[in-house]
Structure 1
Amino acid sequence: MNLPRGMKDFDSAEQSKIEFVRQKFLETSKSFGFNFMAPSPLELVSVIEAKSGPAIRDEIYFFKDKGDREIALRFDFTVGLTRYVVEQKSLKMPAKISAFGGVWRYDEPQKGRYRYFHQWDLEVYGKPSLESDAEIIEFTSKFFSKLNLKNITIDISHRKLVESVVSRIFGSADSQTIGDIFRAIDKIQKKKKDEIISEYTQRGYSKEKLEQVLEFSKIKGQPDEVESVFDVSGIQAWAELKELFSSLKNRGVANIRINFGIVRGLDYYSGMVFEAFDSSTSFGALVGGGRYDSLPKAFGREDIGATGVAGGVERIILSLEAQGLQTIESAIPITVLFVNEEMARPAMNIASRLREKGLAIEIDLLGRPFKKQMENASNSKFAVIIAPKEYSQNQVIIKNMSDGKEAITQVDSLFSNVDSLFTL
């Protein structure tokens, strides 16, 4: 029996890693005042098309339900959260919402991403504001710090700025031309320059102009460094981008730079855009986001804008592992052992009572010999041994499995002094 292509099972170890990232995400989003929610895993296809157009059908899982409605599995969280906010007419603005969970995409499976994967997401809705943009980027930086990830660079740009340069180079503000060249720029991180030029010259674009715009897309650095190599005078949105950069510096975000090669592929972005990379790996962008005021408008709300960010959890886990960082946080298990069959019942009782104290407890369920139980407890920090002689005196043995030291304690003390008895 096989799974559908692009799907996988997540075993206990993988699920623990996902939960590790989830907990760090929840801690960070709480510290920024975001409200956590879970949007529906099913959407109407028409709702998803409002964000990405009819072509999105090639990238999603969709079907007709028993009411003959076209339904899609959740492609991301932005659509569902925006739909929700638009529906809540009385929602106080700005609305800061976070989400975490699984999404489905009919993409070609790749390292770090199957067709079902996990994603975290933040959105700020309300009156468009530079500080809302800065908040989203600051969160991203602080979240990676909380994960202890190193070598993270956050590249920021502005769609209107890049659009004005593209329009100047190609002598056209035509939306089709702008869209095509944006996609060419977006591909520069994934494909060779010659391949991109070959693809777009075949579509009728000037090789010389393509060369010029791709050279522009390589510009990156601090604002003064950018100004030293490129004439930004009269360039739309440069002042706004510099102000955003200044706000982030004021917030203590140091791992940022301007990168004109960041445009984000989706057409609905309308302002600031950014991506974050682990410079010590070649996994590509760990997160991406930006301002997308057009989406709430597509859903019928002309009075609010939005800015957000989303990241793939599995790809973040790959970076954590590549940097040799801990990806599992769990209680160190304690194993309750019984010396003979007669001691099995009281051992079960003691195991259950220790679990009520919030401890992670293992106990043999098959009645195996004591020697075998000891072998299986080798990964535990402590063992609680229930033996006939000691138990007849209402006592148990606590064994430190690291150094082999043993101590005898009263059963009542076992439950009243768990913190002192089971210490590292």
Structure 2
Amino acid sequence: MAQKPGIPKGTRDFNPEQVAKRNYIFNTIRKRFETFGFQPIETPSFENSETLMGKYGDEGDRLIFKILNSGDYLSKVNESAYKEKDSNTLTSSISEKALRYDLTVPFARYVVQHQNEIEFPFKRYQIQPVWRADRPQKGRFREFYQCDADVVGSDSLWQEVEFIQLYDSVFSSLKLEGVTIKINNRKILSGIAEVIGASDKLIDFTVALDKLDKIGEEKVKEEMRSKGILEEGINKLQPLFTLSGSFESQIESLKSILSSSEEGIKGIEELAFINEAISQLGLETATLQLDVTLARGLNYYTGAIFEVAAPKGVQMGSIGGGGRYDDLTGIFGLKNVSGVGISFGLDRIYLVLEELNLFPNTVTKNVEVLFINFGEQEALFSLKAIKLLRSEGINAELYPDTAKMKKQMNHANKRAIPFVVLVGEQEMTSDTYTLKNMTSGEQTKVSLIELIEAIR
């Protein structure tokens, strides 16, 4: 017996219901992107290796899927590298292309390559799959979609304000209430590190601070000490460990803590501007919250940092994130092009909507009516009606074979089709249709117009 086929680890098949629900999220996000003035682009699923390699650090480079060259890819291999099993040298000679790891680096390449065609500021959105050779686990896949929106070519903080509104608009459209949009600023983190005399240990300091809500104050202090941060500096952090209250009160506390740091004060001013604008404009369902422990993408972001938390009571990591970067295109030689962008976590948003039962029933709208097939003449008569039903936006189909009535009815039941139409010699003579409600079992004889209204 032939072995049952399978799919690679970290990939997934999606059944019709799952695809319909995913498309509901995609379409909602896409509509809001376009409402806010973002334009769609698409980039190839694979790029030249030199475009991707070296852009994500050593760990990221190891997670990039390489594509073998076509033909006899071993013919150009360096003999000594082959004998010594030097994988790095071998890879560069047998693989010139790789699957994209994210949408950001390909976007940077796109901007540089098409800079003379682009009108700046350039607002783009992209909804496409990416691939990572990661270890598959719950919520982590080797193939998954990213939904990104970015603006490049503008330093204006109004862009950050609009992205907060965009997050709020998308989650409001999905009827997902109680979402928290957390915000911080890289300049504030740099200012704190400066104040405690740990500017050279910024990453170590922020990695430890980021764990405050997970491991508590004392453990965070222990980790900082282990990284060589002096006790005097840690003592200066004390107000941070108890920082709470409204956005405005936290801003005032930070002004005291960072009074000696020009960089830190600049970060405070930026956050205060954003918060004031959002206070004036208002949000529909989301809440904006200052979180000084937020430090995602620190090697990448230079200004505002965003992270979106699911409603309280839902056990889920972040469902979105992003921030301001000052030199996205610098990796390809185009310097000083500032940008800001956000991303939506499709898979996690799906799980949250599923848990909270927020998918509308109409999302998985199936075929609404199945015509039973009694023979060639009856089928042709039915298809004329089906053509009209479809033109009226009703999902209709004919059972393709003249199978036993019971089999055709079972087919409708298994597919949860709500209505069945029976057309026999009597119906054809009287130009009517027998409509059966599969839920109630009720059968009625109707005209074509009545059939359309009944199904609607």
Q: 1:293 to 1:374 in 2, by over 3 A?
A: same
The question of 1:391 aligning with 2:433 is answered no
> Which shifted more, 178-187 or 382-391?
178-187
The question of 1:292 aligning with 2:329 is answered no
Partners in 1 of 2:241 and 2:65 — Cα distance? 34
Query: Which digits, 9 at most, give the CA deviation of each residue in 1:111-162, with x for residues without a partner?
Result: 3331211221100111211001111121111111111112200000000111
Greater strand fraction, Structure 1 or Structure 2? 1
**Contact conserved, 2:121 with 2:151, CA < 8 A, in 1?**
yes
Please point out which of 54, 58, 82 is paired with 2:108.
82
Q: 1:103-118, aligned counterparts within 5 Å?
A: 103-118=130-145
**Contact conserved, 2:17 with 2:364, CA < 8 A, in 1?**
no
**Contact conserved, 1:220 with 1:260, CA < 8 A, in 2?**
no
Deviation at 1:288, TM superposition (A): 0.6
Deviation at 1:205, TM superposition (A): 4.4
The letter for the 1-side match of 2:38 is: F
**Helix, strand or coil at the partner of 2:206:** helix
Q: Structure 2: any 5+ residue segments left out of the alignment?
A: 71-92
**Helix, strand or coil at the partner of 1:304:** coil
**Contact conserved, 2:327 with 2:336, CA < 8 A, in 1?**
no
> Which shifted more, 186-195 or 217-226?
186-195
Q: 1:403 to 1:22 in 2, by over 3 A?
A: same
Query: Which digits, 9 at most, give the CA deviation of each residue in 1:244-278, with x for residues without a partner?
Result: 11122223226101110111134111100010001
Query: Which digits, 9 at most, give the CA deviation of each residue in 1:322-356, with x for residues without a partner?
Result: 21111661445223332634534544554455445
Q: 1:10-409, aligned counterparts within 5 Å?
A: 10-49=14-53, 51-66=55-70, 68-88=94-114, 89-169=116-196, 171-174=197-200, 177-188=201-212, 201-206=225-230, 216=240, 219-227=243-251, 229-230=253-254, 231-232=256-257, 234=259, 235-236=264-265, 237-253=267-283, 255-278=287-310, 279-326=312-359, 329-338=363-372, 340-341=374-375, 343-348=378-383, 350-351=385-386, 354-355=389-390, 357-378=392-413, 379-409=416-446
Partners in 2 of 1:409 and 1:299 — Cα distance? 67
Q: 1:51 to 1:292 in 2, by over 3 A?
A: farther
**Contact conserved, 1:182 with 1:265, CA < 8 A, in 2?**
no
> Which shifted more, 368-377 or 382-391?
368-377
Q: 1:218 to 1:318 in 2, by over 3 A?
A: farther
Deviation at 1:84, TM superposition (A): 1.1
Partners in 1 of 2:253 and 2:33 — Cα distance? 38
Higher RCO (C-alpha under 8 Å, 6+ residues apart):
1
The letter for the 2-side match of 1:304 is: V
**Contact conserved, 2:161 with 2:274, CA < 8 A, in 1?**
yes
Partners in 1 of 2:400 and 2:222 — Cα distance? 65
> Which shifted more, 121-130 or 213-222?
213-222
The letter for the 1-side match of 2:288 is: I
Superposed CA RMSD: 2.9
Which residue pairs with 2:76 in the alignment? none
**Contact conserved, 1:157 with 1:241, CA < 8 A, in 2?**
yes
- TM-score, normalized by length of structure 1? 0.87
> Which shifted more, 253-262 or 225-234?
225-234
Q: 1:233 to 1:173 in 2, by over 3 A?
A: closer
The letter for the 2-side match of 1:338 is: I
The letter for the 2-side match of 1:381 is: P
> Which shifted more, 331-340 or 97-106?
331-340
Deviation at 1:287, TM superposition (A): 0.4
Deviation at 1:181, TM superposition (A): 2.3
Rg: which structure is higher? 2
**Contact conserved, 1:119 with 1:311, CA < 8 A, in 2?**
yes
Partners in 1 of 2:336 and 2:290 — Cα distance? 30
Deviation at 1:395, TM superposition (A): 2.2
The letter for the 1-side match of 2:250 is: V
**Contact conserved, 1:335 with 1:361, CA < 8 A, in 2?**
yes
**Contact conserved, 2:373 with 2:402, CA < 8 A, in 1?**
no
> What number of residue pairs does the alignment pair up?
416
> Which shifted more, 256-265 or 104-113?
104-113
**Contact conserved, 2:371 with 2:382, CA < 8 A, in 1?**
yes
Partners in 2 of 1:261 and 1:22 — Cα distance? 31
Partners in 1 of 2:162 and 2:418 — Cα distance? 42
Q: 1:204 to 1:4 in 2, by over 3 A?
A: farther
Deviation at 1:76, TM superposition (A): 1.6
Partners in 2 of 1:228 and 1:304 — Cα distance? 32
Deviation at 1:404, TM superposition (A): 4.1
Deviation at 1:233, TM superposition (A): 5.1
> Which shifted more, 353-362 or 192-201?
192-201
